[in-house]
Amino acid sequence: MSKFKIAVYADGASVDGMLEARDKWDVAGFTTNPSLMKKAGITDYVQFAKDALAAVNGLPLSFEVFSDDFEVMEEEAKKLAKLGDNVFVKIPITNSKGESSIPLIEKLSKSGVQINITAILTIEQVASVVKVLQQGTHNIISVFAGRVADTGIDPIPLMKQAVALTTQTPEAELLWASCREVLNIFQAQEIGVDIITVTNAVLKKLSMVGKDPKQLSLETVQGFHNDVEALGFSIL
């Protein structure tokens, strides 16, 4: 991972996966979310959080609130924050009704909670967040560049604008969320993004970085050939 200046965080909800990422790729931090937890079959959030914190060995780790109600969300955030000094509490930019989380973000920031503001997809949302972060706090602004790309829109202009805003805000680090491929790491690094979240599936592809395309072409053909033999099919 020394080839990257950008901080690479592993994204997932498997403690075993976190251990693999920590030991194999030397990542700088970790993130998770309810959707990943559902996929991983997590049934006890608090126990999962404690196990995850033990696994990451003091590195930054983001846990998301569950409630859709801002008052309950605040209590959840405070409980999660108490789990460790390396915990960042993920607060979605709105609730499921589309109501802004900015008042809660400002309140939590004033209380000293380290926040990871998530599900951001517009520059207006970034601007609204940086205005309420309190001096001396440490926070992450997660812009879902991958989901922007999924709509057919190039996320680079948005991320460049976000870099311009966050570099003027010492309290905020910009995170490129929903990384889809290794190329995204290089793109995010080139424009000055602070952090990128990467799944273990993408981290496993780092072994291909710098590989000669001609050699990769040959290995691809060899892979096809091996699969053909395994199938045992015959056209003629």
Catalytic site positions: 90
Whether the Cβ atoms of residue 48 and residue 17 lie closer than 8 Å to each other: no
CA separation for the pair 59, 80 (Å, rounded): 15
CA separation for the pair 236, 233 (Å, rounded): 9
233 Cα distance to chain centroid: 43
Q: What is the dihedral of CA 59, 65, 71, 75, to 10 degrees?
A: -50
CA distances, 54 to each of 3, 82, 172, 178 (Å): 27, 14, 26, 25
- Nearest CA to 148 out of 122, 116, 175, 109 is that of 122
SS3 annotation, 31-43: ECCHHHHHHHCCC
CA separation for the pair 146, 153 (Å, rounded): 10
Structure tokens at 54: 């033990």
**Which single residue is written with the structure tokens 């099919």?**
233
Residue 71: what residue type? E
CA separation for the pair 185, 198 (Å, rounded): 8
Structure tokens at 72: 């309950």
